[in-house]
Structure 1
Amino acid sequence: MKKTIYIILLVFLATNVFAQARKKKNMPPKTETKTKADTSLPSRTVIVTSAFQPSLKTTSKINFIAVSPLPDTVKPVLQYNVPAQNLIFSYQSPALKPLAQNIDTAIHWENTGFLKAGYGNFTSPLLQAGVSLGDGVKSVVNLRGYYTSSKSATREFQKFSKTGLEAIGIFNTPTNKNEWSGRVFYDNNTQYQYGFQPDTLKFSKDDLRQSFTTVGGVVALRNKTENAAGVSYNPNVSLNLFRDNHNANESNFIIKAPISKQFGKIFAFNVGLTADITSYKSDTSSIDNNLYYLTPAVVFRTPNVKLTAGIIPSWDNNIFAMLPNFTAEAKVNEEKFILQAGWIGYFNKTNYQYLASVNPWLRQPTFLLNTRIKELYAGFKGSAGSHVTYDAKVSYLQFNNQPLFVNDTVTGRSFEVVNEPQMKAIRIHGELGYTVQEKFSFLAGATFNQYSGLKENIKAWGLLPIEINASLRWQVMRDFTVKSDLFFWDGPQYRFKDMSSGKLDPALDINAGVEFKVMPKLNAWVQVNNLLNNQYERWKQYPVLGFNVMAGVTWSFGDIKAAMAK
């Protein structure tokens, strides 16, 4: 840079000198008259110096400042299918039926048993025993037996006894695709017709004794999973032999063959055949009561809707009747609320065994007519939170051949069965439950019936218009449990022996009990029945026992085979 500046200055000075010399050459000579002073400027040298430091160009840098993205206004669609975390129980215990259970092979199966004994203030012994057998994988067998009796201290013939034995077995096939189940049982109920009036009449024990004995069994086969064709089946055959102590006997032979065929994940076709054959004989009557019907139906099922459409062609003692079978369920609010509606038809088989279970003081029947029912209903069910369950339904029912019970016209101690060919009813039913695991449960149910349209009877003799049940189980501590039950019903209509009618008083029965551990395998229990000492009547002229208290122990033991080996 310095050299460049020097060269520029030298060129500039040389050009200036050259220009002045050329000017002087072209000027005419001057005549100097006198000497003047030299006014030309002297030449000067200018030196420019500069400090230079080389540097690099500033490079571009990445900008790390975070910029928030634009919000997404599209809502994501999330599908959840969370199963209910609580159990729904019926307020009234249904009939026990053997069901298959997939046994976890990681858990060691142990055969256990129990022995329960107690005694009450109405000369009431109680004895129950049960034991389980099998390996828990290929077979499970449960054996149970019971005996109890009670006797009033004020009424001579107010006493009863119950005895029963039962064996239930479940057996897997070698391929583990099918399962056999069976049940055999013996049951005996004995009571006396103590409700005669006037009570000054004299009867022998044999005249008043009512003893009913049932021996029976059932065998069933079902596939545990759908086969390759999507078919599920569960045929079963049962036989009951029933008799009383007055030379009446009855056989009930039942065949059921339900089959279900699945078409994809939405459609299914169900069909079933039922043959219910009854033969009844007594000293004065011989009755054959046979019922056959088919149940074809198409089922449409999605995660939120279930529809069933079918018909039930039936032959009731060779009388043909077509019954409806249409139901619908719709889930609302993530399966916690379900709407339900339907128009259905079904039969209540009327035999001697059924009539004796409803009213054990009846006379031997002289006819057996099956009850045909058509029901139109609507309601809802569901759960609130993880502990509360509910169910409510309103129904309109039509009855054909409904059995009713009236006192005899001599002493009133026995009941005659009368038939009502046509009857209608409005029924409101509701259930409510609150459960917390196995520590606390409260279940309650109520049913209201309004009967009307009777053709041959002025009242629905013996049928309850209002019925309310409740049950409480509370595990206060690990080894202390409280139990309680409540039963309430409004009194039914009755016909007395002079043909007059009346209505029984409402009834309220409250039971309570506790059970606690005394030793590792020994529990003690106390049960109090009819706390209010209310001697109400379910059937006219038959008051129940009053305040009753029972106490006893329950002993639990382990594998009976291992105990016997020791």
Structure 2
Amino acid sequence: MSIIQVIGKSLVVGAGLLSLGLCAMAQDSSKRKTIDITSTFKPVLRDAVKLNFSAAQPALDTTRPVLGYSIPVQQVKLPYQPGTLKPVAMQIDSLVPWKNSQYVKVGVGNNHIPYAQAGFSFGEGKASYLNLYGEVFASKGKLDFQKHNMAEVRARAGQMLNQNHQVSATVGFKGEDYFLYGYRPTTLDFTKRELRQQFQTLDGEVTLRNTNPTEFGLSYQPTVRVVSFRHNNADSSAREQNFVFKLPVQKTFGKSFGINLAFTGDLTNYKADGKSTIKNNLFQLAPSLLLKTPNVSIQTGILPSWDNKVFHMLPNILADFTTNDKQFTFQAGYIGYFNKGSMQRFSTINPWIAQPDQLLNTRVVELYGGIKGVLAQHFTYNAKLGVQKQRNVNLFVNDLRDGKTFLTVYAPEMDVVTVHGEIGYHKGEKLTFTSGITYNNFVDVEGQEKAWGLFPLEVNASLRWKIIDDLYFKTDFIGWDGPAYRNQSGLAFKGDKAFDLSSGLEFKVTKSIDLWLQMNNILNNRYERWNQYQVYGFNVLGGVILRLNR
């Protein structure tokens, strides 16, 4: 077949196919176009070729390693930080029941025959309590009429009035007999009645306080105290009544700010036989602003005072600046206060006092600065330097007859420079040691030749040691440089230095019985605290304690 024939047949076939397609399109023009998928392409990666590693064995090490351990010493350090003491009612834990305590302590010694002390407590301690205390002793030294008798009873009670208020009360009586054995010359003849003088004090106090601040942030604690004092001797007797009213109020703003406002009224009425009545009244108002943060505590205020109707404005500024760890605190202050003039107070300072002819309040203005803090784990320290301006300072001098009584005289004005230091060691309840020294420089004693009876230098130390669970040891040391005194000729002299060391032991025999021993003036230093009045020498006192609630 020729090429021409092949081409011709191809054309005929193509024309036929074209005619068939056109016919088909002419027959169904409404059919949709579709795509038929007959296969799906799936790409696949080839398997990776794995590499084979051949691990070589490590070389054998025959040396022994040296391992050093450094373990730090773990110590719990609890630094002791002394703080300001503010008497408040103890918060009783409701989970711990109140344990009443009853004890009787009796003893005898070479100077004390007998000695007795007792204490009793009642109540559950949370809503109410009642404490009773009593003490009595009679002592006698080697000198003629060197005697001292004392008896005291006291009761304290408290009661919750409601959820926010508590009332507490104290009432007590104390009677003391002193004998004026310090007369010169010792050849003078006196009877026991002529030398005996008695002090009797009956006092009571009632306090109301709110246990929780009010809805306005107010805290208050009004207190009323009444004291009736009597002094009797062979020549005359004297009576004194003291009435004291205090109303402190504090309002806080948040945690850092507050306002204090306190009013105090202190009224004294003194009457001796054959003499006019002496009234000594003191009123004070103390407004102040408070700022307290973790590192700063500042109180800024004034103290308007009316001393027997004479007005005085005193400062009342205190400041403490503390580090974050509470181990160092700087203290400063510019303050003023009064020491009340009353025979009851004077008799607690000098029991051989004669009935005074005048009662004046001592006014003190002090500027001071100091530091306190913690050394190492348990050591504490405190140092202070102050300058005082004192007015109407009460001093005591021997009478010019036989010297057995002390007259009350006043220095209208006196400057005092004071340096005080303390150091202590505290280790829980096991061991406590404190010691201190105070130096006073009396400058410009107006109206008097010397600061009669005041110490220019004092030292003291105290140790409390719990040797074992049932054995306690204590010791105390006091010493001073001799104070100035006036002899019967009116001349000024300086007293001798004095040292006094005392120690005591207490240990358990059974759960209800303890034995105790007290030794005083171990150095047997027969010093004179007050001129012409020699103290007891070495004396020992011991006995038994019965614990009735065990």
Shared fold by TM > 0.5? Answer: yes
Q: Deviations over 1:187-211 (max 9, x none)?
A: 1121100010111111121211121
Equivalent position of 1:132 in the other structure: 121
Question: CA separation in 1, counterparts of 2:216 and 2:246?
Answer: 21
- Residue pair 1:387, 1:434 contacting (<8 A) in 2 also: yes
Equivalent position of 2:173 in the other structure: 186
Question: CA separation in 2, counterparts of 1:436 and 1:202?
Answer: 55
Q: How does 1:54-93 map to 2 (within 5 A)?
A: 55-57=46-48, 86=80, 88=82
Question: CA separation in 2, counterparts of 1:151 and 1:479?
Answer: 32
Question: CA separation in 1, counterparts of 2:113 and 2:479?
Answer: 24
Q: Is 2:165 the counterpart of 1:174?
A: no
- Residue pair 2:471, 2:508 contacting (<8 A) in 1 also: yes
- Residue pair 2:295, 2:324 contacting (<8 A) in 1 also: no
Alignment equivalent of 1:307, drawn from 289, 292, 298: 298
Cα deviation for residue 446 of structure 1 reads 1.5
- Residue pair 2:79, 2:376 contacting (<8 A) in 1 also: no
Equivalent position of 1:165 in the other structure: 153
Return the TM-score normalized by structure 2: 0.84
Q: Is 2:289 the counterpart of 1:298?
A: yes
Equivalent position of 1:241 in the other structure: 228
- Residue pair 2:117, 2:136 contacting (<8 A) in 1 also: yes
Q: Is 2:412 the counterpart of 1:425?
A: no
Question: CA separation in 2, counterparts of 1:423 and 1:311?
Answer: 23
Q: Is 2:387 the counterpart of 1:396?
A: yes
Give the SS at the match of 2:389: strand
Cα deviation for residue 416 of structure 1 reads 0.5
Give the residue type in structure 1 aligned to 2:180.
Q
Alignment equivalent of 1:276, drawn from 255, 263, 266: 266
Comparing 329-338 with 490-499, greater Cα deviation is found at 329-338
Question: CA separation in 2, counterparts of 1:139 and 1:116?
Answer: 26
Give the SS at the match of 1:519: coil
Q: Deviations over 1:347-368 (max 9, x none)?
A: 0001000111111111100000
Give the SS at the match of 1:295: strand
Q: Is 2:451 the counterpart of 1:460?
A: yes
Alignment equivalent of 2:501, drawn from 510, 514, 527: 510
Equivalent position of 1:264 in the other structure: 254
Comparing 208-217 with 380-389, greater Cα deviation is found at 380-389
Equivalent position of 1:374 in the other structure: 365
Cα deviation for residue 83 of structure 1 reads 12
Give the SS at the match of 1:248: strand
Give the SS at the match of 2:346: helix
Q: Deviations over 1:120-169 (max 9, x none)?
A: 1124321000011011111121110001121123x221010111111112
Q: Deviations over 1:50-100 (max 9, x none)?
A: xxxx951479xxxxxxxxxxxxxxxxxxxxxx997647499xxx9xx9741
Give the residue type in structure 2 aligned to 1:216.
D
Cα deviation for residue 323 of structure 1 reads 0.2
Return the TM-score normalized by structure 1: 0.82
Larger Rg: 1
Give the SS at the match of 2:193: helix
Question: CA separation in 2, counterparts of 1:98 and 1:132?
Answer: 20
Give the SS at the match of 1:398: strand
Question: CA separation in 1, counterparts of 2:175 and 2:319?
Answer: 42
Equivalent position of 1:210 in the other structure: 197
Equivalent position of 2:208 in the other structure: 221
Q: Structure 1 89/482 Cα, relative in aligned 2: closer, same or farther at 3 Å? A: farther
Alignment equivalent of 1:146, drawn from 108, 121, 135: 135
- Residue pair 2:402, 2:488 contacting (<8 A) in 1 also: yes
- Residue pair 1:98, 1:170 contacting (<8 A) in 2 also: no
Q: Calculate the aligned-residue CA RMSD, in Å.
A: 1.9
Equivalent position of 1:534 in the other structure: 525
Q: Is 2:537 the counterpart of 1:546?
A: yes
Question: CA separation in 2, counterparts of 1:172 and 1:382?
Answer: 38
Give the residue type in structure 2 aligned to 1:475.
K
Q: Is 2:458 the counterpart of 1:488?
A: no
Count of residues in correspondence between the two structures: 477
- Residue pair 1:98, 1:181 contacting (<8 A) in 2 also: no
Question: CA separation in 2, counterparts of 1:528 and 1:276?
Answer: 40
Q: Structure 1 98/307 Cα, relative in aligned 2: closer, same or farther at 3 Å? A: closer
Q: Is 2:92 the counterpart of 1:118?
A: no
Give the residue type in structure 2 aligned to 1:237.
V
Question: CA separation in 2, counterparts of 1:251 and 1:278?
Answer: 6
Give the residue type in structure 2 aligned to 1:115.
V
Give the fraction of aligned pairs with identical amino acids, expressed as a percent: 43
Structure 2: unaligned runs, 5 residues or longer? 1-44, 51-75
